[in-house]
């Protein structure tokens, strides 16, 4: 017998995370790495004191209402918590934490990759070389959009947005941003603040989303908003697919209002949007913004830090 807390880890995390978890907790980890549905979550709640889920496990109000009283904490392996009904969990007295800070650099790297790849026609160029179809060159061949010196609009100037801005400054980009509140000068670093998204859009040669998905932001990039961007702008999303009206995005691509888009997240995940595949000026990745070894270790350890604090009778650092 053991008096260690029983922890259910819903997905395959990094080896270092699993090793540490096994040292301090009675861990339940299934060998198959797949999303867990509502019935599995409810059933498992009868056996565990804590759950360490990913964004793939949805804690809706219905699921939360059926959770066993044994579960005391949900320590998310993610920054975003739009898969959790926070009000319902709070009403049940279940603590919820996330893993901020540690994935900002990795996600900003992917945003830069998508921005550069979309602007410089990476999908099309890769196909030409890979298929042996590259048999021509001229000064008009594969001309793309230059990033250096362009204006970058950032929506959401939190940790990831600021990391993105720092990298973009290395390309000599002019930084504009919209945020719930203006940053202090030491964080703003010369960036231009816009009180409204509609003010930001017309000056954004490139637009990059770094805000959470909430009822207020869901679908915010719609047809009217894409139309406010300069014609030929490049759109990047490494935040959440729910922020974007995908039909409006596709229409903006097809009309030329957007020159290109770089996407790491989609309304439907996994899978993405199959209608995007016909457009080589949409550069897509399968939601891998934080997928580096160092970041996965850091995310797992941050979740375990929150669990350790909770079971030691302290307030977890990242309690929401």
User: CATH class for domain 104-284?
Assistant: alpha beta
Q: Would you say the CATH fold of 104-284 matches that of 6-102+293-311? A: yes
Residue 97, CA distances (Å) to 38, 86, 115, 273, 307 in order: 20, 10, 31, 30, 9
Q: Mean pLDDT across the stretch 4-23?
A: 97
pLDDT in tens, 34-60: 999 999 999 999 999 999 999 999 999
Question: Burial code of 164-178, b = ≥16 C-beta within 10 A, e = fewer?
Answer: bbebbeeeebbbbbb
DSSP state of 27: E
pLDDT in tens, 181-201: 999 999 999 999 999 999 999
The residues assigned a catalytic role are: 240, 269, 287
The two three-digit tokens of residue 175, written as one number = 């930084």
Helices (H) and strands (E) in the chain, counts: 12, 12
Q: How do the domains of the chain map onto residue ranges?
A: 6-102+293-311, 104-284
pLDDT in tens, 113-130: 999 999 999 999 999 999
% helix, strand, coil for the chain, step of 5: 35, 15, 45
Q: Which residue has the tokens 């996994």?
A: 270
Provide the CATH topology of domain 6-102+293-311. Answer: Rossmann fold (3.40.50)
Given this model, what pLDDT does residue 3 score? 86
Question: What is the pLDDT confidence band of residue 1, given thresholds at 50, 70 and 90?
Answer: very low
């Amino acid at each position: 017998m053991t008096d260690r807390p029983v922890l259910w880890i819903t997905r395959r995390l990094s080896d270092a995370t699993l090793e540490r978890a096994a040292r301090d907790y009675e861990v339940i980890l299934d060998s198959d790495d797949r999303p867990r549905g509502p019935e599995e979550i409810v059933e498992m709640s009868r056996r565990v004191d804590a759950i360490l889920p990913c964004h793939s496990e949805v804690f809706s109000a219905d699921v939360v209402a059926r959770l066993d009283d044994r579960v005391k904490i949900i320590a998310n392996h993610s920054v975003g918590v739009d898969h959790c009904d926070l009000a319902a969990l709070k009403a049940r007295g279940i603590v919820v934490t996330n893993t901020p800070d540690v994935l900002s650099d990795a996600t900003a790297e992917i945003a830069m990759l998508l921005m550069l790849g979309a602007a410089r026609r990476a999908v099309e160029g890769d196909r030409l070389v890979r298929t042996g179809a590259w048999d021509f060159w001229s000064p008009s061949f594969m001309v793309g959009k230059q990033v250096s010196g362009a204006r970058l609009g950032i929506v959401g100037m939190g940790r990831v947005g600021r990391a993105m801005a720092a990298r973009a400054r290395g390309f000599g980009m002019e930084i504009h941003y919209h945020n719930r509140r203006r940053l202090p000068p030491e964080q703003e670093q010369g960036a231009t603040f816009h009180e409204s998204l509609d003010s930001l859009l017309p000056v954004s040669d490139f637009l990059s989303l770094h805000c959470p998905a909430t009822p207020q932001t869901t679908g915010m990039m719609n047809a009217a908003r894409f139309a406010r961007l300069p014609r030929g702008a490049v759109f990047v999303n490494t935040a959440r697919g729910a922020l974007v009206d995908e039909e409006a995005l596709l229409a903006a691509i097809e009309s030329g209002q957007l020159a290109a888009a770089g996407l790491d997240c989609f309304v439907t995940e996994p899978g993405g949007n199959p209608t995007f595949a016909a457009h080589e000026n949409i550069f897509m990745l399968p939601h891998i913004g934080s997928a580096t070894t160092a970041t996965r270790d850091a995310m797992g350890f941050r979740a375990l830090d929150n669990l350790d604090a909770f079971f030691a009778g302290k307030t977890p650092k990242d309690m929401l």
